[in-house]
């Protein structure tokens, strides 16, 4: 069952009903200011940090769900309705929600009055524009009242929901014409405030929530709207809001435009005030002057569209599979940009109050994003490296506002350090910028501890070497990629965190997955040392010799102690027992090591790789995707931790964890199984599952983190959409392995793995300012030509002065 449709030309998903299985959302913003917006207008906004600079409130556990956001009430005679359906939920004569690249448009109508509400964050300004256009489509004059409303969050989203004895006393606002300013705590330590404005004279306002709503009422029946009178309330403490009332007269077939701006302003401490207790509004007035007319708003929207066209133009495919083209050209890259900006910090499933930016998460996000805006990827790598500790370990997360490690979560997730090598080598391959290796970066964000990034990479690889267990496999620490495999926790107290509690010394439990990572990224690190010896602040030759020996020892350890007979083991627990083995009653096979060990090249020549993939297909693969483990755990096992705490088929206990489905697809491509590689890709790709939206439930245009697995009662149901490493890894998979366009140090490697059904594919790839126009065709005699001349091998050498390169590959 479908609830909408794709418009590939406009790069939109158009939702035809407000009654989607879950809120289907979009993200607005590209730089510092971000908003989430659902298909009924819900969501929230923040500046840089969803925890520390939250502008508007959102209630995750609210009933009904998705309450709040940007709220608009239209009164046409005795009929009240909302242009985004909520909060009034009045049945509409027509409704469409267009989710596009950085914008959302609601089109609705009721009783001959047509509305169009366009929401977006303009390039370069810290604000969200809401452009409401009303058209009278009748032959009679209409007297219309429009009331807006947003509810302010008191900046720190955690404190806002906890410290009520203080917060109910601190709310402060100012009103200046048609602009309402939220200046709570501005008199104290803050140098920033928020504002909500409309470009017309107002006939009333409210800034106190209870005055606006009235007693015993809520956002779907506010007294100020139903009574027809705003109260001109001034918030003093309690719950500050911003609401405007605008009265309009629309002649027959007349159209009127209203521009609302929700924004953020920050000032130097010595410029905070205009006069005593009156905030300096100069930057806001300058910003608002740019968005006063319909033409100005349309120009800003056009600039936003050009921005996305330029970003998405860097990788483009034309094939006979429109769903593949749709995902590659539009939605997968779009999601990669969003995940790069926000990591896992702010979605409809992550509150933005705890996680911040993940070390591992952000490193992986770069893999799918680096081709879009390499300079931002470069800065992110340096930011990530700066929260590494001197022993090579790192904080697991950091706050985007401060760029300092999150001490509440800490570190000791032993896969984290290796991901820094993964994103650094990907960046250098994409850009050729080896200068990043000599950039000075501190440890633990402490000034005076700076060393070259290359030294950080060395500390990363040596952390693994220095933390091996009884089988010479890497120690797992608190956890590896699977945060819920907590082998040193042993918790029986429901008030303890699985991921921050350790009741074991951590010197026994080992991870075969990290071993696969070490082999893959150890080889990449060795190549960095070989190619860029002159950049190394250490003896590169000595380092290469040591690392290559450690790689050989690790591969032997994996084959001797990490191979179970038909698949790779997952780990050894703190007692030295096997996890992910045929000897186990439950959790016999896990997906992660099967993908990563094969990606690292283990067992490809000797047959273990294919046998492992056969086992994956037999035990883990379902019609909706490949499950994380099988069979699911039916009882809690304190030796395993959180993974066994979930009901069967959900999250880490046997769901289809979409993130690592890409590793299996890549592994299938590496061994040459083109049909199965594409089948793995298809099973989780949103566009291929649009027809089962009533089962999948999440948005049919972006990836979700998990899908309920084969042992779950809701098999096939998606959860935790948008902010997931699935976005980056699926783009790496489809672009670099299935389509086979891989950047390397010397140029662009072209080695696709396509099923027989693909007879001809055209790909445009912008690589280091050169436009590669690549045609792949089937033929009797495989060959590759560049600008009409045949070349040996599969690498198109990079030439700095070349702007266009025509490539033809016969497979």
For 273-292, b/e burial (b = at least 16 CB within 10 A) is eeeeeebbbebbeebbebbe
| Cα distance between residue 618 and residue 615, in whole Å | 5
Kindly state the tokens that stand for 478.
Answer: 């608190």
The Cβ of residue 667 has, within 10 Å, a number of other Cβ atoms equal to 28
Owner of token pair 């009265």? 247
| Cα distance between residue 739 and residue 682, in whole Å | 14
State the DSSP code for 446. -
At CA 343, angle to CA 501 and CA 601, rounded to 5? 80
**Is the peptide bond prior to 221 cis by the omega test (within 30 degrees of 0)?**
no
Distance of CA 731 to the CA centre of its chain: 13
* Cα 70 to Cα 36, 152, 198, 421, distances in angstroms: 10, 11, 13, 42
Would you call 444 exposed, middle or buried from its count of C-beta atoms within 10 A (0-12, 13-18, 19+)? middle
List, in order, residues 6 or more apart from 789 with CB less than 8 Å away: none
| Cα distance between residue 339 and residue 482, in whole Å | 19
Q: Rounded to the nearest 5°, which phi and psi values hold at 633?
A: -75, 130
Distance of CA 676 to the CA centre of its chain: 27
The answer to whether 242 and 183 have CB atoms below 8 angstroms apart is: no
Owner of token pair 């290359």? 454
Q: Which of 483, 505, 637, 746 is catalytic?
A: 483
Which of 174, 155, 173, 195 has the alpha carbon at shortest distance from 283?
Answer: 195
539 tagged catalytic: no
| Cα distance between residue 742 and residue 763, in whole Å | 12
| Cα distance between residue 420 and residue 25, in whole Å | 31
Owner of token pair 């890497």? 474
| Cα distance between residue 658 and residue 702, in whole Å | 12
| Cα distance between residue 710 and residue 98, in whole Å | 33
Q: Could you give the residue numbers annotated as active site?
A: 483
């Amino acid at each position: 069952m479908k609830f909408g449709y794709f418009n590939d030309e406009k790069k939109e998903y158009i939702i035809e009903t407000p009654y989607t299985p879950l809120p289907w959302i979009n993200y607005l913003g590209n730089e510092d200011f971000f908003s989430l917006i659902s298909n009924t207008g819900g969501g929230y906004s923040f500046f840089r940090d969803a925890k520390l600079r939250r502008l508007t409130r959102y209630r995750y556990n609210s009933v009904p769900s998705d309450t709040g956001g940007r709220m608009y009430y239209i009164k046409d005679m005795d009929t009240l309705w909302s242009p985004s359906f909520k909060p009034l939920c009045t049945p509409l004569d027509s409704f469409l929600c267009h989710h596009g690249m950085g914008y959302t448009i609601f089109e609705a109508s009721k009783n001959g009055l047509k509305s169009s509400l366009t929401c977006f964050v303009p390039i370069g300004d810290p604000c969200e524009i809401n452009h409401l256009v009303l058209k009278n489509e009748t032959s009679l004059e209409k007297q219309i009242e429009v009331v807006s409303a947003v509810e302010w969050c008191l900046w720190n989203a955690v404190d806002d929901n906890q410290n009520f004895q203080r917060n109910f006393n601190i709310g402060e606002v100012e009103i200046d014409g048609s602009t309402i300013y939220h200046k709570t705590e501005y008199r104290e330590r803050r140098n920033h405030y928020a504002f909500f404005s409309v470009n017309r004279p107002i006939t009333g306002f409210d800034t106190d929530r209870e005055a606006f709503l009235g007693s015993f009422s809520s956002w779907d029946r506010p007294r100020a709207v139903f009574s027809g009178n705003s109260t001109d309330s001034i918030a003093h403490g309690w719950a500050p809001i911003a609401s405007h009332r605008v009265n309009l007269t629309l002649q027959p077939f007349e159209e009127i435009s209203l521009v609302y701006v929700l924004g953020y302003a920050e000032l130097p401490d010595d410029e905070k005030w205009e006069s005593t207790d009156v905030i300096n509004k100069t930057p806001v007035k300058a910003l608002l002057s740019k968005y006063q007319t319909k033409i100005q708003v349309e120009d800003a929207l056009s600039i936003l569209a050009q921005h996305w066209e330029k970003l998405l133009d860097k990788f483009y495919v034309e094939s006979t599979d429109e769903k593949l083209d749709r995902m590659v050209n539009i939605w997968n890259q779009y999601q990669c940009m969003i995940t790069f900006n926000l990591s896992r910090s702010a979605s409809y499933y992550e509150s933005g109050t705890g996680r911040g930016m993940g070390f591992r998460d952000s490193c992986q996000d770069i893999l799918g994003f680096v081709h879009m805006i390499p300079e931002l990827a470069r800065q992110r790598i340096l930011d990530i490296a700066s929260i590494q500790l001197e022993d090579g370990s790192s904080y697991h997360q950091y706050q985007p506002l401060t760029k300092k490690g999150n001490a509440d979560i800490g570190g000791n997730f032993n896969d984290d350090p290796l991901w820094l090598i993964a994103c650094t080598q990907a960046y250098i391959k994409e850009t050729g910028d080896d200068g990043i290796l000599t950039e000075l970066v501190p440890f633990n964000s402490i000034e005076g501890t700076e060393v070259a990034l290359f030294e950080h990479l060395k500390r990363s690889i040596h952390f693994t070497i220095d933390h091996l267990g009884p089988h010479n496999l890497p120690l797992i620490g608190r956890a590896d990629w699977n945060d819920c495999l907590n082998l040193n926790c042993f918790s029986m107290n429901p008030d303890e965190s699985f991921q921050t509690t350790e009741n074991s010394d951590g010197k026994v439990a080992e991870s075969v997955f990290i071993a696969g990572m070490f082999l893959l990224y150890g080889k990449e690190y060795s190549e960095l040392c070989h190619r860029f010896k002159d950049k190394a602040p250490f003896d590169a030759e000595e380092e290469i010799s040591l690392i290559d020996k450690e790689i050989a020892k690790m591969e032997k350890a994996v084959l001797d102690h990490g191979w179970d007979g038909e698949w790779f083991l997952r780990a050894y627990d703190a007692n030295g027992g096997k996890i992910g083995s045929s000897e186990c009653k439950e959790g016999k096979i896990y997906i992660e090591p099967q993908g990563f060990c094969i990606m690292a090249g283990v067992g490809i020549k000797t047959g273990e790789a294919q046998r492992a993939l056969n086992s994956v297909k037999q035990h883990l693969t379902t019609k909706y995707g490949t499950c994380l483990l099988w069979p699911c755990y039916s009882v809690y096992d304190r030796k395993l931790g959180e993974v066994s705490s979930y009901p069967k088929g959900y999250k880490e206990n046997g769901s289809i964890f979409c993130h690592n489905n890409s590793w299996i697809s890549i592994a299938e491509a590496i061994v040459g199984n083109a049909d199965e590689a594409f089948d793995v890709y298809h099973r989780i790709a949103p566009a291929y599952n649009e027809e089962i939206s009533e089962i999948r439930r999440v948005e049919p245009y972006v990836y979700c983190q998990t899908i309920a697995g084969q042992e779950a009662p809701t098999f096939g149901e998606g959860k935790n959409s948008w902010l997931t490493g699935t976005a980056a890894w699926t783009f790496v998979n489809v672009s670099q392995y299935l389509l086979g366009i891989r950047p390397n140090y010397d140029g662009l490697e072209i080695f696709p793995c396509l099923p027989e059904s693909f007879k001809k594919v055209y790909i445009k790839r912008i690589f280091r300012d050169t436009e590669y126009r690549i045609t792949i065709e089937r033929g009797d005699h495989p060959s590759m030509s560049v600008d009409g001349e045949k070349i040996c091998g599969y690498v198109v050498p990079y030439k700095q002065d070349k702007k266009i390169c025509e490539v033809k590959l016969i497979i």
